[in-house]
């Protein structure tokens, strides 16, 4: 059994929000996420994809913003470049209470938008 979440965000919207609220990046992204994204050309593309991923994960968990801090949902990369989800704190406990074994994630972007799809895979009974 699995639950699905999807999200899309305008990249420029994230850029504007980060410019208006300088602490936004520290509030939303882990140090590792910031380091990776800020090292890339056009960092906002990578930050927006991760923001969309975090919201998609929340939707796959069946909850909305505010249930757990976005920094507790971390988007990392395998050596192959494939994105993966790591949950910490409340996000991890919530997933455990729901019987979620793992969360698969896919990220994509174009010039203007970033999107993500998350699939929360539950333990089989």
Rounded CA separation 118/14 (Å): 20
123: DSSP letter: P
Contact 37, 102 (CB under 8 A): no
Measured in whole angstroms, how far is the alpha carbon of residue 106 from the centre of its chain? 10
**Tell me, what CATH number does 101's domain have?**
3.90.470.20
Higher pLDDT, 1 or 28: 28
Annotated catalytic residues are: 59, 109
Domain hosting residue 87, numbered range: 2-122
pTM: predicted TM-score of the whole model, two decimal places: 0.93
Convert the pLDDT of each residue in 60-105 to its tens digit. Answer: 998 877 778 999 999 999 999 999 999 999 999 999 999 999 999 9
Number of domains in the chain: 1
Q: Under a CB-based contact definition with an 8 Å cutoff, are residues 55 and 77 in contact?
A: no
- Determine the 3-state secondary structure of 117 from DSSP: strand
């Amino acid at each position: 059994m699995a639950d699905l979440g999807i999200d899309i965000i305008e990249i420029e919207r994230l850029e504007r929000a980060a410019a208006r609220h300088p602490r936004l990046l520290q509030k939303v992204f882990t140090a590792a996420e910031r380091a990776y994204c800020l090292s890339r050309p056009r960092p906002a593309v990578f930050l927006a994809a991760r923001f969309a991923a975090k919201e998609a994960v929340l939707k796959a968990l069946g909850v909305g913003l505010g249930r757990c801090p976005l920094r507790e949902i971390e988007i990392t990369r395998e050596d192959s470049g494939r994105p993966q989800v790591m949950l910490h704190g409340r996000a991890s406990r919530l997933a455990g209470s729901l019987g979620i074994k793992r969360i698969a994630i896919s990220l994509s972007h174009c010039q203007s938008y970033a999107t993500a799809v998350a699939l929360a895979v539950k333990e089989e009974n």
